[in-house]
Amino acid sequence: MPKESTYTAKLPDQDGIYAYTPEEDAIWSELYGRQIALLADNACDEYLEGVKTLGLDAPRVPQLKDVDARLKRATGFGVEGVPALIAPSKFFQLLSEGKFPLATFIRRREHIDYIEEPDIFHEVFGHCPLLTNAAYASFVRRFGENAVALGKDYSWHLFRIFWFTVEFGLINTEKGRRCYGAGIVSSPNETRAAMVEKACEFRPFDLMTVLRTPYRIDIVQPIYYVIDSFADLDAINDEDIGAAIREAKALGDFAPTFAAKAS
């Protein structure tokens, strides 16, 4: 996530409605249309079911309160509109309360293929469908609780767990390997890289390995971690994550498989 964003949060009116322009609806429509086609054979069934449960469709940017109501009916999870960038402590606090923080602006056309900060397409299309799945929603909420309890000294490594699961996770299914991470399902480049071109490394999810793996947010991922089930994912929360992070810090990071960012 960049330190500064050129986007500002949209604010709701007194009825909780966010106003989007016809151009913004058109951008949602284009993004939705191409991703839903690409994901049919590439995303896991739980994600695709979640798209239906939430009633997401092409014509316009969905309203946050509709997503919130449908999610609540499914798993009790909710969403909360936030500015484009929020502090890690606030982020984890919201997750622990069962609220997924949503940036409410949508990208401009110049960023239609790639945007560094999360916009509402990434948030709603990427993150919200799987939050209709009970095991996944439990993982996210309990991960937030663990993160709040551990505090900011652990944030750096907690974001690695989040990155390699919620953002860029893959899952083994009866139909083969499928994607579920929001950074993959909301990005055509990432979907193709992980599911079609596969010029990357796939590793079975292992907590200690993940904790020692550095990542860059602004490149197509060179490494993906693959889980076997969402119940397995939720079981991470039963481990002593704090002790694992302390051990990972003592062991040190693996050498990056990518070039350092030019500054």
Between 118 and 169, CB nearer to Fe ion: 118
Q: Are 51 and 67 in contact (CB under 8 A)?
A: no
List beta partners, residue 79.
100
Of 114-143, binders to Fe ion (CB under 5 A) are 118
**Minimum CB–partner distance for residue 126 and Fe ion (Å):** 6
Between 85 and 246, CB nearer to Fe ion: 85
Cα three-residue angle 72-75-77, rounded to 5 degrees? 55
Range in contact with Fe ion (rule: CB under 5 A) among 24-32, 41-49, 180-188, 216-224: 180-188
**Minimum CB–partner distance for residue 174 and Fe ion (Å):** 27
Range in contact with Fe ion (rule: CB under 5 A) among 15-23, 64-72, 179-187, 200-208: 179-187
**Minimum CB–partner distance for residue 181 and Fe ion (Å):** 9
**Nearest 5°: phi and psi at 69?**
-65, -40
Between 98 and 118, CB nearer to Fe ion: 118
**Minimum CB–partner distance for residue 129 and Fe ion (Å):** 13
Q: Are 7 and 119 in contact (CB under 8 A)?
A: yes
**Minimum CB–partner distance for residue 14 and Fe ion (Å):** 29
Q: How far is CA 74 from CA 2, 84, 135, 166, 205, in A?
A: 33, 26, 12, 19, 27
Residues for the chain: how many in total?
263
Range in contact with Fe ion (rule: CB under 5 A) among 152-160, 175-183, 198-206, 208-216: 175-183
Between 116 and 239, CB nearer to Fe ion: 116
Neighbours of 121 (CB within 10 A): 23
Residue 166's Cβ-side half-sphere holds a number of Cα atoms within 13 Å equal to: 24
Between 182 and 194, CB nearer to Fe ion: 182
182 near Fe ion (CB under 5 A): yes
* Residue window 227-256: x/- pattern of binding to Fe ion, with contact defined by CB under 5 A: ------------------------------
Q: How far is CA 147 from CA 93, 98, 101, 182, 213, in A?
A: 8, 13, 15, 20, 18
Range in contact with Fe ion (rule: CB under 5 A) among 55-63, 102-110, 146-154, 177-185: 177-185
Between 118 and 129, CB nearer to Fe ion: 118
Listing DSSP states for 21-68 in one string gives -HHHHHHHHHHHHHHHHHHTTTB-HHHHHHHHHHT--SSSPPPHHHHH
Between 48 and 182, CB nearer to Fe ion: 182
Range in contact with Fe ion (rule: CB under 5 A) among 32-40, 141-149, 176-184, 207-215: 176-184
- Tokens representing residue 66 in the block: 């509709």
SS3 at position 208: helix
CA nearest neighbour of 210 among 259, 164, 244? 164
Site for Fe ion, rule CB under 5 A: 118, 182
